[in-house]
Structure 1
Amino acid sequence: MPSAPTRILIVEDDAGLAELFDELLTKDGALCAHVESGRLCLDWLASRQADLLLIDYSLPDLLAPALVEVLRETGRLPPFIIVTGHGDERVAVAMMKLGARDYLVKDNLVLDRLPSVVKRTLQELDNERRLAASEAALRAETQRADQYFENAAVMMLVLDREGRVQRINQAGCEILGLPPAEVLGRNWFDYFIPQKNRDGVREIFHRLMAGQLDQTRHAEHPVLNRAGEERLLAWHNSLIRDDTGAITGVLGSAEDITDRHQAEAAQREHEAFRKRVFESSQMPIIVMEAHSYRYIDCNPAAVAIYHCASRAELLGHTPMDFSSPVQYDGTPAPIKARFYIERSLAEGRIVFEWLHQRADGELWDAEVHLMSFTSNDRRFLQFTLQDITERRRAAAALRHHREMLARTEHLAQIGSWEWDSSTDTVRWSAELFRLFQRNPAEGAPSFAEQAKLYLPEDMQRLKAAVAATLSQGTPYELELRGVRGDGMIRVYLASGHSEQGPDRPAVRLFGALQDITERVITLQALKESEEKFATAFRASPVPMAIRDLGTDQYVDVNDRCLALMGYVREEIVGHAPLEIGWMAPEDRERNRHALSANGIVTDRELHLRRKDGTEVICSYSTHIIQIGGRPCVLSTSIDVTERRRAEAQLHQRMEELKRSTAELQASNEELTRFNRAATDRELRMIELKQEINDLCRQAGQAPRYALGFIETRDDSPPTQAPLLA
């Protein structure tokens, strides 16, 4: 981006000369303005700024010294050059003391000298500005370096050639347990290195100072803290050199690794213990690679369970070499193995059963505990085996017996139970859980808790019968009204008998429970069903209607349905939905096909038309019922119009939220770009010190800084970072 032109204000009462100055300076790219007096100069600078002033020494109203003082007092004095018709050196010296950048005499050479004097002055001003900026940046960088030294989480230590402590940070003082005043100036080796390590560490230091030792070398040695305890530190050292390159000291950074070292020692001991446990365990243990599935380690118990002669017969193989080709569910073993391995890698630990095959073709079952772990950035799998062949056979036989019993109970709707009265422990068959609609995982309720399963008066009858059975051994058979888990009342035929030992009362009861609700309901339904149905139908808060399945004409509608449709009963009964325009023909046809195929239509959303022509959205359900031996269709129509409108409004608001989110994301991306640009500007810091000396040389001045160097430790080729000596 091109820089702005230099703004020069010419303060000259000679208009012709000022015009010549303007012409010369404008050719060099300057932007010039002209005033003829000191007062006009003050007015001009009150509202504008100039980069440079050309001031005639003798103005009509003010001499240049007075004008300069006024501008300095008001804080508006830019750099200035004095132009005078007198060649008096005293005037020149006085103006230079007031801050003039240069001095020009109005002679026949003034027009030749003016451009070079202005150019040189502007160059000096630019160099000074850049120098000031560089010095400020250097101060900030130096301050940051000091802050890093002081705030580093590791010990930072500077020793001179004699090994005396020149500087130490807070972390170092905390490791030593001493304030800086008790560390600075002391010989590091005499005060802070244990006696047994002192000579060796001092020798390393002397070799470093002599340049005989690679400074990038990592070292570990202990130090003594205030309490006399040894703390093990990991050291990294960098040499400090003066301007001539001579070594003047060393900068060391040290991390306290005492706890880590102790933890590593404990870990090694733990690993040795684990190895002993691994080898001596009676549980077969195998370790394999996660990427190849190959066995890389196993214990003697694993060799034995596979019927191998040695570890060599097992290692290098994969699970496929010892598996049945097909697993329990018919899946090929390689596919099933990959499934379990991927699960273990994702979840960490799984348990499953696996069908194995030995070299002689013998099949055997195992319970596998498979887990994944990482070591040295590599993934491994470890599993243990337990031979469950006999357990699976026994479980299969028991499962077959129970399945037969469960099928029998289910067909007869009979559940069985047993009760130990001494512990109030009750066991139910699966069918009994189903009859009461209870979750088997919750277990059977104790006899004391069974009051909630029956109506109160029926529970009293059951308690009396059970008491008689326990005391007298009398079997019982009762009809009881029970309450299922879903709240429904069912009628059960309950029977029970006791198990009695010699010369002692019964403590265990066995029995069965059969659901006879349908039989009881059937006997009552012939008389009561139509009346109850009619009452429930008319009183229902849900709009309901009944149509003849054959003619599709309405047989009856309840009041809520009439209110929804906007008709009176006489306008509905005897007519079909299509006749009154309640339902569109295509919806009627789809409902008819669904009802014919499934016997029921559930929660189908339809647009229905009321008598006044308005449209309502309804959740429409139908199913086939029998009334007086005649097949009919019972339908419900629940008005969901307002709910759909609310959902549409919610959808609109969600779309607005998405747009707002997108705008916020765009703002965040813009902020990220700004931060990146700010970071780039900071990268120039490392070049600033050299630039300061270069700028001083360009200005004809001696370099302001003497530069020394600290060699930094790095695995890359050596580099030198300039530091303030």
Structure 2
Amino acid sequence: MKILIIEDDAGIAELVRFELEDLGYETVWANTFVDAERILEEVDVKLMLIDYKLAGEENAGDWLQRRIKSNLPIPAFIMSTGQGDERVAVEMMKLGARDYLVKDSMLMTRLPEVIKRVSNDVENEMKLKQADELIQKQLKFTQLLMNISTSFINLPLSEVENAVHDSLANISRFVNADQSYIVYYDFKNQIATLDYEWSKEGFTPRKEIYQTIPMEKMDNWIPRHLKGEVVYVYDVNKYDQQNVRDSVLKYGIKSVIAIPMMDNGKCLGYVSFDSICENHVYSESEQQLFKVFSQLLINIYKRRQYVEEIRQSGEKYRLLFEHNPEPMAIFDYDTLKFLEVNDAAITHYGYSREEFLTMSIKDMRPVEDETLLKNNIGKLLKSNQFRLTARHLKKNGEIIQVELTSSQINWNGKKAIHILVNDVTEKNIAQDKLQEKRDILKKVLDESTSFIQLQSGDINYDKITDMMVEISGAYIVAFNQYVNNGAEYMTKSVSGIGDFVRNSINILGFNLIEKKWKADPFVNTFKERTSIQVFSGIQDVVGKVLPKSVTQIIESTFNSGQVVVVSTCYNNQVLGDFVLIFNKGRELKNSEIVKLFSNQVGLFLVRIETEKAMRESEEKYRYLFENNPQPMWIYDVDSLSFLEVNNAAINHYGFSRKEFLSMTLFDICPPDDIPEFVKSIANIKDKKDHFTRRRHLTKNEEIIYVELTSTPILYDSRNARHVLVNDVTKRKKMEDELNRKMSELLDN
């Protein structure tokens, strides 16, 4: 998988690049969004790691919005943000971000896990998309075969030749072949005869020079076709059958597939598709559908051979209908009674052929669908071809959901409707479950958003356990949080048991919420603790994640069954447990979303603790800054304006704080030094640590000599530098005086 790193900090980009390449990913780096645009046009990027704010550029949100408005593709992406940028992360997740990383000291620790998880999700989505595309292609292929099959039913013999050629052309165009043939074997004369040919526009037909082929020149094709095997050669240049290879290479053929036409174990010939422009990959499912087409051709061949015999005997010749793997039926246009059904319909619905032929299409529908049936039949009878969805009844009373494709035909002199049935019951159930998961995921995202936007630091544990009840389907959910470095755990909330928690003092003699218990025995029992552990009953967790007194009440009051413990972790540290208790006969649902929500809660808990630590750290830093005996200030690297100064700087330079904060670095630079200062300041901007000597002006216009040590920082979301000032004026004067005396001494 190729990953695009969009990062303006070359050092961070290089670290990320080394880490990802060690994990086996290919990487490409862009330090501007313009660079990223070019790379996305030239490289097949599957995943992006985007820095939200690049120096001197629009932010990532604006860039992504611009691509969306321009209908430009956006690969899956992970957002990286600075410390405290969670609101930005929420915006990005609404734009489609799969996850976000905070650019702090833990960045490289969290990076591998996030990349692996998101890349796995992307690969799975790609596989699902490819599978869906393959299914859609197969459905279209099946529909094409259905149309061909329908067109062949009761087709006059005079039109068969054109119909076969048209079907060969349609199949060839569908699979993007360049040329195709239908070849019949003459075993008596040991030759293969080319009967039909189709060539894409711009390709020269070869039927005249390729009319017959001696079987001795066909290498192993004959024995393989006699066994019913498909001969598929992806790369003719590497084919080990010399005669066939030499004969097809002279026409520039790169790939060829030849499907035997089998009739009751006997091979009558083959249908082949040649690719000249490029090598062609045919899937197993396509090869199976080719076999269906070859069976169609067999039926046409047999019809052409025996049509006179069939006409004399008056037998019904059903071409593919009886052997089609999908349920098919023909019913009378006027009476709606069944005239014929195939074996697949008999098997699928459970009725015998005799029972079907006494029924009408109305007998297949539930009573409550009568009005809908009348409307559908009206539409169906008005159209030569029609597609609709309906509910059907099987003989055992089971109701199934079906897609019906219909065509009007003439059947034994009667106007009739030919229908193909596609049972989509399981597909619709799967779609409903998928939609349910999507709805729950949206709720999880909304809750995660509310976590991130929470400012007070107060945690609504009741809302967390209520949400877990909805996601998991559990009857009761409790959340325990570890305290005192894991030595104890505290029950924070219990949902699903009404007033029990509020009345816990009266029932248990103590308040269950905020009650501390001894350390979770699971920590000592399992060396590697899994994120989800399933237990058969509540007795398995007595005294572990719920105190014995609580589990006894739950067991005696509720019809409890399975118990699931979901660990809330961060960086392999267990922060707490969700305890999910189910009614008997019920099991955990949406396990992936349960894990996701548990992880979100873990991140939220860590964020609350981190913000608390940051506030404490900020207060300490401000105290050290303001009370440092050395002059110090912070300035904006873009505008060079002062953002903050300490008391020592105010006293040393004579300006008030208000005056400092209205000034820039130019205001304390002597006019003669400004040209040199302008040149040097550009070099300082991107340096991590910098030391320099300069002259400064105090408020009383005294020139002082200073040594400046600066470090880059982020201050109020602005790129800035923290400067420490050391006044060396006295030392400079002493050095000058010493140099003067040394010069005088040397002169004498």
**Would the TM-score normalized by the shorter structure come out above 0.5?**
no
* TM-score normalised per structure 2: 0.26
* TM-score normalised per structure 1: 0.27
